[in-house]
Amino acid sequence: MSQTLVEMPMEPAGVPRGRAMVERATWASRAFATYDIDSVRRIAHAAAIAGENHAREFAELAVQETGYGVVEHKVLKNVACSVGIWNTYESHDYVTPTIVEGDKIVEVPRAAGVIFALTPSTNPVATVYCKIMLALLTRNAIIISPHPFAKGVCARAAYVMRDAAVAAGAPDGVIQVVEQPSIPLINALMTDERVDVIVATGGSPMVRSAYRSGNPAIGVGPGNVPVLVEKSADLPAAAQSIVASKSFDNSILCTSESVLIVESAIASGFTVALAKAGAFLLSPEQVDVVRDLIFPMGHFDTAWVGKSALEIAAACDIKVPKGTLILVAPIDLVVPEEPLAQEKLCPLLAMVTVSSAARGIEAARAVLRNSGRGHSAAIHSQDARVTMDYASALPVLRVVVNVGNSLGSAGIQTALAPTMTIGTGFFGKSSVGENLQPKHLINRTLIAYNSNKSILMPDFTDLNPWSAPQGSVPAYPIASNLEGAPFIPQPSAPIEFAGTDDLREEIRRLVIEELRQIIKG
């Protein structure tokens, strides 16, 4: 009797290593989830200091690797997302049980487990720092999957924090990074049932893919920030703020202003103030040339992401003063047919003039109909009534006043939570409407007693299920994301790729299209 041998299909390159990374993260998350608050704070603080110490080095490497942005501005973001996040949350406790006496409830914080974090090329190191810090503060293990265009600097940034965290007592494997991102590997990690939550920062297709993965996901939508300057505003201060914000890191933050809306009564004086602050007002003919360069065929050319105003002007053969920081393009109407009313990740700001604040609010709503719902908006005004009308009329979840939106909505120049991941809520079809912060990465087990006052709840004071680790935590036997490490098969079902073709194709389109545009540039 002859036997037919059935050849099992081989998994795509990198996928076995990815599965081992998840197994290692699962082990680390279980160990880390038992740590007490003092141990967690020691580990998070060590990682924050390590991140700050390398802030400039990684800012320089990020600009070299991606070609995006300004080194000095990236240094600021890297510091804000390492020690800045530590300073914000060092007194917060996402570990110790809380007793709610009047309700007879005890809240026990629980780590989510394994986080799979997708990070962008525009704010690579700051986003890696931010997500790692939030994971450490909440006792989660995290696997970073960087954008392919920034994979080198992101891996180095993650390893610096990993080494500091492990040296401070974190389980080996609590921070890992995908060194060679690929479509099959991202798909395998995103759909692995051992991943407890996906945190996706990137373009809309990537975020939609995360939501369709079958795992819980926190994703964010694109920005397209309108900024209204109404007649009560301090014009020189508003101009300075807007120019500084729009030029910050060459406008690669999704929070940077996109369309400037100015009341006609102050338009003349305000354009003078803009010029003094470093803006160059384009003529109608120059607007057409810049539009064709930045939006060929009506679509934003990613070759201009993070390029300076001087570079854009030179490419258009437009002579501008040496100190020009942003280009301002006057447009007639905010309509879908106007490409300049879309998000522009470069220091190019559209400007429209309106007859009143009420008309300005309608123009801002039109901007957000193009894109950016749920994200953010800015206003420069001394009038509380106008500010309230503006905030309540727009489908956004953060409105910053008399401050640049780039760092204002990111929580660096306001009291909003500091972050590189801006939740857009139900307006933007996101599961989170706030700036991403530690509370979004924990569960809380509630111990609830009978509300009848005659039935007493025992004393839970000083009862804590978590404790400091005894001795050093053993290193995971296989460092699965290090080059050359052997792969040990785990007793889990093989990954099924059937039914995930659409997901894979969406990821493929996102990465390949962006890289193609960048290479064309």
What φ, ψ does residue 473 adopt, rounded to 5°? Answer: -75, 130
Strand order in the sheet with 105-111: 98-100, 105-111, 442-448
Would you tell me how many other CB atoms lie within 10 Å of the CB of residue 326?
27
DSSP code for 349? E
What φ, ψ does residue 225 adopt, rounded to 5°? Answer: -80, 120
C-alpha 64/C-alpha 318 separation (Å) is: 26
Q: Which residues contact 39 (CB under 8 A, 6 or more apart)?
A: 169, 468, 469
Catalytic residue among 81, 154, 254, 346: 254
Task: Report residue 304 as tokens.
Answer: 């201009």
3-state per-residue secondary structure call for 255-318: CCEEEEEEEHHHHHHHHHHHHHHCEEECCHHHHHHHHHHHCHHHCCCHHHCCCCHHHHHHHCCC
Strand order in the sheet with 326-330: 279-281, 326-330, 348-354, 257-263, 225-229, 377-380, 399-401
Instruction: Calculate Rg over the CA atoms of the chain.
Output: 25
Q: Which residues contact 145 (CB under 8 A, 6 or more apart)?
A: 116, 117, 118, 119, 177, 178, 181, 186, 189
Task: Report residue 301 as tokens.
Answer: 């050319």
Q: Which residues contact 446 (CB under 8 A, 6 or more apart)?
A: 105, 106, 107, 108
Question: Known catalytic residue: 346?
Answer: no
**Catalytic machinery residues:** 254
